[in-house]
A = this chain, B = another copy of it.
Amino acid sequence: MKKNVGAVVGLYPTPVTIIGTVIDSRVNWINIAHVGIIALDRISISMHKSHYSNQGLTKGNLVSVNLVSEKMLAAADYVGMVSGAKVDKSKVFEYESGSDGEVPLIKDSPLVMECRVVDNYKTESHDHFILKVEHTHVEEENLNSSGKIDYEKVRPILFEMPTRTYLKTGDVVGKCWSEGKNYK
């Protein structure tokens, strides 16, 4: 028996990301899990317009989208709790510079995407940044023997909003375009 809980977004869990930018020559991080995939080459991140971090996401800019491992969780949550307008968060994560020599890539992240800001699909309250993926950096131990990303190894931390909880990525249960052959 189902209960109608109202107009609640229930499309969870989603991967937690740390967005790395440079604002006024200082590295800044923010935790964003309201993310999405567009076509086969773009992703999106939805950020309330009040955030300081949005300044680092102007069109044409390169930003980093860092997945979160369990050992990064306290720091990942922290950068979502304090604003870069008041606190210097640049040293929360160790980083190296990306392909433009500037965008910060988190060393401890299991998977980092360098993305170009190509558009902003604005709503009343949010900037919904459209990011084109340019380079994806993966810890070699997280690649399978064919060089593909193995999410059972990456095990990104996930998020759900209704009770504001972080969850693990679980085990593999089947293959796409294969399980369906068992449907009769």
Q: Which residue numbers of A lie inside 8 Å of B, CB to CB?
A: 1-15, 17, 34-44, 46, 65, 67, 70, 73-82, 92, 111-113, 121, 123-126, 128, 130, 132-140, 143-144, 147-152, 155-183
A44 touches which one: B3, B36, B77, B163 (CB < 8 A)? B36
* A and B contact pairs by CB, cutoff 8 A, 9 listed: A5-B136, A5-B147, A11-B15, A35-B37, A36-B44, A70-B173, A121-B121, A121-B130, A152-B167
Q: Knowing A10-B113, A34-B38, A140-B2 are in contact, say whether A162-B135 is a contact too (CB < 8 A).
A: no
Chain B: minimal CB distance from A148 (Å): 5
Which residues of the other chain, B, contact A125 by a CB distance below 8 angstroms? Answer: 39-40
Q: Please, how many angstroms separate the alpha-carbon atoms of A173 and B69 in the complex?
A: 11
Output the nearest chain B residue to A17 by Cβ-Cβ distance. B11
Task: Give the distance in Å from the alpha carbon of A172 to the alpha carbon of B149 in the complex.
Answer: 23
Which residues does chain B contribute within 8 Å of A164, judged by CB atoms?
175-177
Complex alpha-carbon distance, A138 and B8, angstroms: 10
Whether A67 lies near B177 (C-beta < 8 A) is no
Q: How far apart sit A139 and B67, CA to CA, in the bound complex (Å)?
A: 31
CB distance from A132 to the nearest CB of B (A): 8
Residues of B near A41 (CB, < 8 A) are: 7, 9
A126's closest neighbor in chain B, by CB? B39
- Pick from A3, A132, A150 the residue with the most CB of B within 10 Å: A3
A25 CB, nearest partner CB in chain B, Å: 24
Asked if residues B169 and A10 are in contact (CB atoms below 8 Å), the reply is no
